[in-house]
Structures are given as structure tokens and as C-alpha cells.
Structure 1
Amino acid sequence: MSSNPISGAGYLLEGLKLLFKPGIRPFVLIPLLINILVFSLLVWLGVDQFEQLMDRFLPDDESWLAWLRWLLWPLFAIAIILVVFYTFTVIANLIASPFNGLLAEKVELYLGGKLGDQPAGAKQIMKEVLPSILSELRKLLYFLLRAIPLLLLFLIPVINLAAPFLWILFSAWFLALEYGDYPMANHSLPFKEQHQRLKRVRMTSLAFGGGLTAMMMVPLLNFLAMPAGVAGATVFWHQQLQKLPKG
């Protein structure tokens, strides 16, 4: 199967369009409300704390090193925004994971896919709560084991100039794993198998996750990032990932 960034970005756009389809709209509501709550809290926290961080870690305007503030500010801002946004995204996904699984199921059925017989509505959500939370915690552990060494790069002179770009790349990859889990878990694929399938089409996966990362940075549009990610990952699964061989 081919791997290219154009198709990865296309899956996300298709997922965004699907959110407004009549048969899918009702299943978008809860993930959307959770995302609005989480990102509203994030915006308030960011506005309140960002300037304090800048004053603490970078020279003030009266220092002869003040020019460093303007040189490093964009890189520092990107790093802080990505770290904080992703932390809150993990929390939002942890809360919304059962509903995201249901949304992925409805999108796949809309696309003509097939799923095994499952209980519907509230019964299905209750049945999937524990497995969904365990899956999110497993992904969180995967994230932390790789994110902590990356964050340490921000403390190393010279290397820290490249750290924000490495973080963006890692975030794109992890968001592909994060949202790809929902449709693949509906087919009982273990995390290791999900990881292997996404690696086989790495450029497509990175473009999909990169599009989500960018979407999270855009005010108002970021509220739709979670449901669009779930729907887009389901399109990704339906059109490409499920056709890849196992193992």
C-alpha cells in the first residue's frame, strides 16, 4: 500500500465533513462538549500562565539579553503550547474514550463497513468503559516513555533549538496512534498490531497526525479536533489500514 502525506491529510478532511452527516451528528455531541470544556480551561490557563513563564525563563525587556526573548519566543511558545495542549488532549480522550469508540463505529457503518454484533447505545458504552480507559492508559504510558526524553532536550543548549520540531514530529505520530486506536479497537486489534499497521504507511500516518496537531492550534476549530480525529481515523482504517496484512 502506498504511503503519502496527501492521503493522510485527506482522511482528516473527510472525517471533518462526516461530522455533519445526519446519521453521525448525534454521536459527535458528547465528544464535542468534552473538547469544548477541556480547551476552554486550557485557554484560560495558557493566558494566565504563559507570560509568567516567559518572565521567569527568558530575560526581561531591560536586560541587554532582551533580544534573546524575541529570538527564542516563537520556539518557546510552540513548545509550551504543544505540551499543554497535548496534556489536556490526553485527559479529554481519557474521559471521552467510550463515546469515541461509539462514534468510530457509527462512522464505519456509514462508510459501508461491517462490525460484529454488539449491544447498542448505553449498554455498549457501559461495556466499553473499562477497556477504553485501559487502552487510553496504555497509550499514555507509551507517550510518557518517549515524551520525557524529548522534553529533556529543551534543557540542552543548542540542541534545544531543534527540540520543538522533534516534539511536533512526535506529536503527529502519537496522535495517529491515539485516534487510529478507536476504529481498530472496534475490530479487536491489539495495540502492537495497530502500531505495526500505522508504521507501514508512516508518511500517511504522520500527515494525518500532523493535520490534527495543526487543527488543535486553531481557535474554535480545535473544538472539533477530537471528533474529526476519530472520524478521520475511521476513514483511514476503512480505506487503507484494514487492507494491510497482519503481523
Structure 2
Amino acid sequence: MTSSQSARQENGVHYFKKGWTLISLPGIRRFVILPLAVNVVLMGGAFWWLFSKLGEWIPAMMSKIPAWLSWLDYLVWPIVVLSVLLVFSYFFSTIANWIAAPFSGLLAEQLEARLTGKPLPDSGIWDIMKDLPRIMKREWQKLAYYLPRAVLLFALYFIPVFGQTVAPVLWFFFSAWMVVIQYCDYPFDNHKVSFADMRRSLGSNKIDNLQFGSLVSLFTMIPVLNLVILPVAVCGATAMWCDRYRAVYVKNNIDVNTTRT
């Protein structure tokens, strides 16, 4: 699947920055409110609890390092902290995404209509709610894709020094890729593009998509900014869908996947 020449000129950084602009568009702001509220309540509470516990967890984790490697504390300590933040932020952002999925799908739908001038058949929150079983099935598909890979990465943390050094790097890029899948899935799923087809399409622009996912992952770990990142990521991913992938699956405003069924 090939992208248009103009879309190729824009990288993941562009779409991340564009997401911040799109959330403030007149007519779109009201669709930002619900996913934003979910993220503020859940991520705000979760990070407040995390920072109250870090003082206990980090010393406990550092105590697992063999005594003869204690001279590496200055190097391992920030890696351990980063690892906790990565795992924690992804875990709670996933929960927030599950709760906000119907509203994020609606935001992606309305923004796509604004960007293309071609509204989707579903046109409101009640239409989205009728699709809730399909939306939740899609969330389970993402979880099934995520879990076995996350378990393998988590196992690396039990390898002293080497695993604890390599695992955070691998976890960061894996989290970035999962962020791309998570947020790009809303516009793809609105057009009922299969999960496998979506992953293949995203893989065709993997470097650009990882730029987008990496920035979202970083902002998910930053207090205050992480409270608004969910709708920003949905908007950026929807803009990416419109520029890069929509033409592949939508012909003359008719869903390719719908016409096959």
C-alpha cells in the first residue's frame, strides 16, 4: 500500500504537532471534552498515587542489584525510574483508552468529516454506542496483540544489568508502536478496516509512525501534559489516516470493507 506523495513529505512529528492544533478547531472542541475528562480523572489520579509510592518502590527494586554491581547505581537508578514510568503510563493510558474508546471513535469520526468534507454514515454518539460491542472487541484484539509481547519484554528485567539496561529501550519503542496502533485504530475501525490490515498499513510507514508514537509516549509520562494527550493523539492519528491511508480503503466516500460484506 503506497502513500500519496504529499503525505510522504510529512513525518510523525508533523502529525503530533497537528494534533495539538486540531483539538481547538471550532465544532471539534465539544467532541474533545469527553475523552479529555476520562483522561484527566484517571491519569491525574493514577500519577498522583504513583509519585506517592515511588519512594518505596525504587529502593526496593534497587536492592535486587547484586552488591558487587553497586557501583552502577548511578546508571541503573534512572533506568529503573524510567522503566516504572513507561510501564505505569502505558498501563493506565490503556485503561483510559478502553473507557474513552466510544468517545475517541466519535472524535475521530467528526474530525475526519471536518478534514475531508465527507461525513461518515454514523453521525452521533448514539450511533457510536450501538457499535460498542464491535469497539470493545477491537480493544480486546489490541490487548491480545500486546500481552504476549509485553510479557517477553518484562521477563528481560529479571536479567541483571543487561536486561535492566536493554529492556527499557525495547519497552519504549514497543510502547511507541502500541501507541500508533491504539490511536490510529479509531479512524481505521470507524471504516471497519480489519486489525490485520491496519497493522500492515501502519507498518508501511513504520519510521514515521514510530516518531509519532514516541512523542505521544514521552508526553504520556509528563505530568499535566499527559492529561490532555489522549485527544491530541486521536486528532493527530486521524489527520494521518486522512492523508496517508483513507484513499486506500475509501473509494468515492464508500468504505471498501463495507462493499465487500
Q: Same fold (TM over 0.5)?
A: yes
* Superposition pairs of residues 1-247 of structure 1, within 5 angstroms: 1=3, 7-59=11-63, 67-118=71-122, 120-157=123-160, 158-244=162-248
SS in 2 for 1:45: helix
| Structure 1: tracts of 5 or more residues without a match | none
Q: What RMSD over aligned residues (CA atoms) do the two structures have, in Å?
A: 2.3
Structure 2: runs of 5 or more not aligned: 250-255, 257-261
Provide the aligned length of Structure 1 versus Structure 2. 244
> For residues 116 and 43 of structure 1, what CA distance do their matches in structure 2 show?
36
1:139·1:178 contact (CA, 8 Å) conserved in 2?
yes
Normalising by structure 1, we get a TM-score of: 0.91
- Cα distance 1:4–1:129, how it changes in 2: closer, same or farther (>3 A)? same
Structure 1's 227 and 202: CA in aligned 2 closer, same or farther, altered over 3 A?
A: same
Counterparts of 2:183 and 2:152, CA distance in 1:
23
Cα displacement (A) at 1:244: 4.7
Q: Give the conservation status (yes or no) of the 8 Å contact 1:5–1:203.
A: no
Gap change, CA 1:5 and 1:90, over 3 Å in 2: farther
2:79·2:168 contact (CA, 8 Å) conserved in 1?
Answer: yes
For residues 107-160 of structure 1, what are the alpha-carbon distances to aligned partners after superposition, in whole Å with 9 as ceiling and x for unaligned? 111111534422x33321321222111111211121111111001111112232
TM-score by length of 2: 0.86
Distance 1:101 1:71, change over 3 A: same
Which whole-Å CA distance do the structure 2 matches of 1:48 and 1:67 have between them? Answer: 27
Residues 84-104 of structure 1: CA deviation (Å, up to 9, x unaligned): 111001100000000000000
Residues 187, 238 of structure 2: 8 Å contact kept: yes
Overall identity of the aligned pairs, in %: 35
What is the CA-CA distance between 1:223 and the residue it aligns to? 1.2
Aligned structure 1 segments of 4 or more residues deviating by more than 4 angstroms: 2-6, 63-67
